[in-house]
Amino acid sequence: MMKKYLFLLVAVLFSAAISFAQIRLSSIKVDEWVKKNFSGQGVVIGNIKFKGYPLSTLSYTSSGNILQVQKGLILSTGNSFNVAGYNNSHNQSSTFGDILSPQADPDLAAIVSGKLFDICSVEFDFVPMDNSIQFNYQFGSDEYPEYVDSPYNDVFAFIVSDESSTKNIALIPGTGVPVSINTVNFKLNQDHFIDNNLYKQVVIKRQEPLKSTYRGTLPGRVLRGIGSIFTMNGPVPGDQTVIQADPELLKTLDPNLYRNLRYDGITKKLVAQSYVTPYKKYHLKIVIADVADNIYDSGVFIEDRSLTSKKDVQQPGFVDYPDLSKVIDPNLILQGKTLEEILPANYKKENNKPAEQIVAAVQQAPVPASQPTPATATPVQPKQRSVPAPKPVDVASPAQKKVVLTEPDFDMPNVVILFDFDKSDITEEEMSKLRTAISKYKQVRNQYSINISGHTDNYGSLQYNYALADRRNKAIIHAVSEMLGEKISIPALSKSYTQPVADNSSDTGRQLNRRVELVFIKKK
């Protein structure tokens, strides 16, 4: 009896927890949200423009862990108020335009072919204070799962551009493949996908007409026999295909999600990232649209305060640059001024350098121009790379250099420490490699600083691997502190599996990706 009451209590508490979970939506002026809520550390924003219908863009908060991006802005191809609620329809659709009146967008036209409808976009100029920008998002759609591998794929993109280059940074982590319904779903890149589909297709056949047991007269039986020759066998006109909730599917889904989100599928929390040149003017356009028709809504959730700029020493060709965040007013760059024009004379005098030398130090490693990767209807597989089997190596051996992103032009080489699967403790073999490197570092410590970044393979969720990479970083910092005989602070970035150096589809590749990279930066 006690067990029965305990079970009932747990059931009630579980139901109560679900009832408190919800997505709350609010009308918002998009330019005000971008200005006050999107920009986090190290980014200045200006010249904001919005295109779309007011109801296609709303602010939201998600309680009860419904969404992994729990607060922010949603851009939808339909009425965004329809996003929240019980997922009681397989084809949630709303539109603001007529099917006979497609719209145009030059940036989306470069990414996907097909007529566009219900375009919604927000764009603005920005100035980053460091060499890497990023923000977090999730993408959901009611085109899941029926239209996977079809041309009916709503499109979205995050387009970063300057005066010389344009690129879409809404990419599957570690690849150049755009995130879309055809590239992230229940069949492909499942690690980045959350299924919220309650429905299965069922063909319901109308009951066959009843045959009369009344035999009637002989002429009547003859006429009925003749008529039967012209009666078609098989489904009758009343047959129809319907979609109904599947009890077996319900068992596999998160009740918090399907009780509060009407999209049939959504990506996990993803990171849009791009290398940039500090103190330079860029343009970001966030855009989404229906493709081929104006039905089956999709939406992208942009996380509050997630647009940030950070110094990332893993950038290929990275060269350290001066911090000018307290020296210049980046709003002047938004207005069209160059860095050289706004550097204060007293700063140049104090540093004994003309403006062009300081600007050159900031812009020594410009980001190469690139074009958007086409988001085709057929999933695009990243190119496979052959990776040699790992073996014990010295700090600067050729095999080790295969997993070093950047080989700097000075005596202190970068080092990669490898880890076992799902582990953060350093093996004796890798500890020996680390000791050798730190022993050499002690001799030139006054000339170099250390930065590290932790990485993982792609097993597990993005969030779990961020935490695992962080634990690996902490293990390295602890070991280096012991070797130096003092507790030191080392700048550390947790990269999860977003920057693989080898193919994650093989054991050998995954082993090379489970790593912490130590980058030694020469002091000026």
DSSP string, 271-305: EEEEE--TT--EEEEEEEEEESSS-S-EEEEEETT
pLDDT at 233 over 80: no
Sort 15 into a burial class: Cβ within 10 Å, 0-12 / 13-18 / 19+: exposed
In this predicted model, which residue has the larger pLDDT, 375 or 500? Answer: 500
* Count of other CB atoms within 10 angstroms of residue 383: 8
Backbone angles phi, psi at 352, to 5 degrees: 55, 35
DSSP string across 318-334? -------TTTS-HHHHH
- The answer to which of 88-97, 208-217, 326-335, 393-402 has the lowest mean pLDDT is 393-402
Residue type, 33: W
If one counts every other C-beta atom within 10 angstroms of the C-beta of residue 285, the result is 20
**Structural domains for the chain:** 24-195+257-310 (no CATH), 384-522 (3.30.1330.60)
Using CA atoms, how far apart are residues 421 and 456, in angstroms rounded to an integer? 9
Task: State the pLDDT confidence band at 203, using cuts at 50, 70 and 90.
Answer: low
* 157 vs 169: CA distance, rounded Å: 7
Buried b (16+ CB within 10 A) or exposed e, 322-358: eebeebbebeebbeeeebeebbeeebbeeeebebeeb
Q: Kindly report which listed range (209-223, 237-251, 314-328) carries the lowest average pLDDT score.
A: 209-223
Per-residue pLDDT tens over the stretch 65-75 = 899 999 999 99
Q: Give the mean model confidence (pLDDT) for residues 109-128.
A: 91
CA distance linking residue 508 with residue 510, whole number of Å: 6
E strands present in 363-514: 415-418, 448-455, 492-494
DSSP-assigned letters across all residues of 52-120:
S-GGGEEEEEE-TTS-SS-EEEEEESS-GGGSBS----S-----SS-TTS-B--HHHHTT--S-EEEEE
Res 196 pLDDT > 70: yes
pLDDT digits (tens, 9 = 90+) for 131-186: 999 999 999 999 898 888 887 788 999 999 998 889 999 999 888 889 999 899 99
Handedness of CA 155, 159, 163, 164 (dihedral sign): negative
Strands (E), 342-494: 415-418, 448-455, 492-494
Per-residue pLDDT band for 405 (boundaries 50, 70, 90) equals: very low
Backbone angles phi, psi at 296, to 5 degrees: 65, 95
Specify the pLDDT at position 16. Answer: 41
Contacts 24+ apart (CB under 8 A), 463-472: 463/68, 463/269, 465/496, 465/497, 466/494, 466/496, 467/494, 468/422, 468/424, 468/496, 469/494, 469/495, 469/496, 469/516, 470/494, 471/424, 472/419, 472/424, 472/516
Residues 6+ apart with CB under 8 A from 328: 279, 339, 342, 343, 344
pLDDT of residue 340: 87
Give the model's pLDDT for residue 201: 65
- pLDDT at res. 40: 85
- How far apart are the C-alpha atoms of 118 and 323, rounded to whole Å? 43
More confidently predicted of 244 and 497: 497
First to last CA, the chain: 75
DSSP string, 418-447: E--TT--SPPHHHHHHHHHHHHHHHHTGGG
Instruction: Please answer whether residues 230 and 59 qualify as being in contact, where contact means their C-beta atoms are separated by less than 8 angstroms.
Output: no
Contact 373/164 with Cβ under 8 angstroms?
Answer: no
For 363, residues 6+ apart whose C-beta sits below 8 A from its C-beta are: 277, 280
Whole-angstrom CA distances from 261 to 57, 145, 288, 347 are 16, 15, 19, 53
Higher local confidence (pLDDT), 239 or 259: 259
Tokens of 226: 């003749």
Q: Whose CA is closest to 77, among 140, 168, 35?
A: 140
pLDDT of residue 289: 93
Q: In angstroms, rounded to a whole number, what is the distance separating the alpha carbons of residues 75 and 51?
A: 11
β-sheet bridge partners, residue 125: 46, 283
Phi, psi torsion values for 340, nearest 5 degrees = -60, -35
Element (H, E) at 516: strand 515-522
Residue-wise pLDDT for 78-111, tens only, equals: 899 999 998 887 777 888 888 888 899 999 988 8
Other CB atoms within a 10 A radius of the CB of residue 55 amount to 17
| pLDDT value at 127 more than 60 | yes
Give the model's pLDDT for residue 23: 92
In the predicted model, what is the mean pLDDT of residues 300-324? 90
